[in-house]
């Protein structure tokens, strides 16, 4: 993936943190095919490799509807306790095989009750699968800690129910709340009572924002959503003004432009100064058009992702997959392509893991123990 295959292997072997990866976007292609066959759901292919290629091609097409089409297939097979449990177990096993030691898995229970499950039964089924997966990893002397993030869909009207659901299950695996789905037209202020109840119960929120919409969406996530982290959040870059040298074209010796001044607007300043963690997802951010929205060009490349600028300016950045099946990525792979685009070595990649674990919704002691384990391995 990079020009440095040795680095790829090192990344895979080192302990990593995954804070933003949707359960319904990260099934094994073979499992999706097997479960779809049982219920008679038609897929674009019944060959695992071909199906994976189709999803990746659709995701890369620049057409958001094509990107989202995969979820109609995945959610179709995730409507029974048995299937949710299996998908959750494999989710843990697959992340562990990629060297992930801590994961927060997010999913929207309201999209998994069409088969007659209650919201509580759905959460319990996923938790049972996560526990089984973690036990399997432990049996092989591995480390894997995993927590659930319950998402409410912005375009629906279940946020109050999902917040109550999260509170009911906080002693059994749920570590936080999220809202997902279309940003524009569905601001966090629409769910103000839900976010207030969440805050009163002192359960943390991460909010998808600054992906499909701009700086006002990020502001809404922070103010009305009281977000402790931002899902992607990369369009916070719209609130940053970089002024380059003298006539704005003074080149440095290596051909780059000399940076003279950085100006942060109030939202960007809050995000950086309060160290609000940005759950960036490099490939997904290209596929969904979040990077293009910043560059103004339809076919943005990874080198145009604001990730490195944000990192250099002291923002709290992490790296995620968002949807491993839909985007055709792995966490190790995302770190490798980022290393290649911005010339990062192990020290920078370790920073992103520490940023993520320190921003996780785990309790302090557990978080610090994992951080120490991760730091030791990467050093």
Radius of gyration of the chain (CA): 20
- The residues binding Zn ion (CB under 5 A) are 322
The minimum distance between CB 20 and Zn ion, in angstroms, equals: 6
Residue 348 annotated among the catalytic residues of the structure: no
The minimum distance between CB 282 and Zn ion, in angstroms, equals: 13
The minimum distance between CB 208 and Zn ion, in angstroms, equals: 5
The minimum distance between CB 180 and Zn ion, in angstroms, equals: 6
From residue 136, give the alpha-carbon distance in Å to each of 47, 58, 105.
27, 34, 17
Tokens of 169: 């299950």
Exposure on the CB side of residue 374, measured as CA atoms within 13 A: 29
User: Which among 104, 124, 183, 211 is annotated as catalytic?
Assistant: 211
Residues 312, 252: Cα–Cα separation, whole Å: 18
**Which is nearer to Zn ion, 22 or 86 (by Cβ)?**
22
> Residue 240: in which H helix or E strand, if any?
strand 240-244
The label of the residue with tokens 């509807």 reads 65
**Which is nearer to Zn ion, 211 or 239 (by Cβ)?**
211
**Which is nearer to Zn ion, 7 or 221 (by Cβ)?**
221
Q: Which residue is nearest to Zn ion (CB)?
A: 322
From residue 18, give the alpha-carbon distance in Å to each of 152, 207, 286, 292.
20, 16, 19, 24
**Which is nearer to Zn ion, 105 or 117 (by Cβ)?**
105
The label of the residue with tokens 């607007």 reads 265
**Buried b or exposed e, range 6-34, using 16+ CB within 10 angstroms:** ebbebbbebbbbbbbbbbbbbbbbebbbe
**Which is nearer to Zn ion, 183 or 322 (by Cβ)?**
322
The minimum distance between CB 161 and Zn ion, in angstroms, equals: 20
Active site residues per annotation? 211
């Amino acid at each position: 993936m990079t020009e440095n295959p040795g680095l790829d292997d090192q990344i895979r072997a080192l302990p990593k943190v995954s804070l933003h990866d949707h359960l319904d976007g990260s099934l094994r292609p073979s499992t999706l095919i097997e479960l779809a066959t049982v219920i008679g759901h038609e897929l674009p292919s019944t060959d695992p490799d071909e199906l994976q290629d189709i999803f990746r091609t659709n995701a890369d097409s620049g057409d958001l509807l094509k990107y989202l089409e995969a979820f109609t297939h995945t959610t179709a097979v995730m409507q029974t306790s048995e299937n949710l449990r299996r998908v959750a177990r494999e989710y843990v096993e697959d992340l562990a095989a990629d060297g992930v030691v801590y994961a927060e898995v997010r999913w929207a229970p309201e999209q998994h009750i069409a088969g007659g499950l209650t919201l509580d039964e759905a959460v319990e089924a996923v938790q049972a699968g996560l526990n089984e997966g973690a036990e399997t990893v432990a049996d092989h002397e591995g480390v894997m800690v995993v927590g659930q993030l319950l998402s409410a869909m912005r375009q629906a009207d279940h946020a109050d129910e999902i917040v109550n659901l999260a509170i009911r299950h906080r002693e059994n695996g749920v570590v936080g709340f999220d809202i997902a789905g279309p940003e524009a037209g569905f601001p966090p202020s629409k769910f103000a009572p839900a976010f207030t109840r969440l805050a009163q119960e002192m359960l943390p929120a991460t909010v998808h924002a600054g992906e499909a919409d701009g700086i006002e969406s990020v502001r809404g996530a922070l103010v009305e959503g009281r977000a402790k982290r931002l899902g992607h959040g990369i369009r916070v870059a719209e609130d940053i003004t970089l002024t380059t040298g003298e006539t704005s074209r003074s080149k440095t010796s290596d051909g780059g432009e000399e940076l003279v001044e950085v100006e942060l607007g109030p939202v960007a300043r809050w995000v950086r100064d309060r160290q609000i963690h940005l759950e960036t997802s490099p490939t997904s951010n290209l596929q969904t058009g979040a990077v293009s929205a910043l560059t103004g060009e339809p076919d943005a490349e990874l080198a145009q992702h604001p990730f490195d600028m944000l990192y250099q300016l002291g923002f709290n950045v992490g790296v995620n997959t968002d949807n491993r099946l839909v985007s055709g990525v792995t966490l190790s792979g995302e770190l490798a392509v980022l290393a290649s685009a911005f010339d990062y070595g192990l020290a920078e990649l370790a920073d992103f893991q520490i940023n993520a674990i320190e921003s996780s919704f785990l309790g302090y002691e557990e978080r610090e123990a994992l951080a120490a384990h991760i730091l030791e391995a990467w050093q």
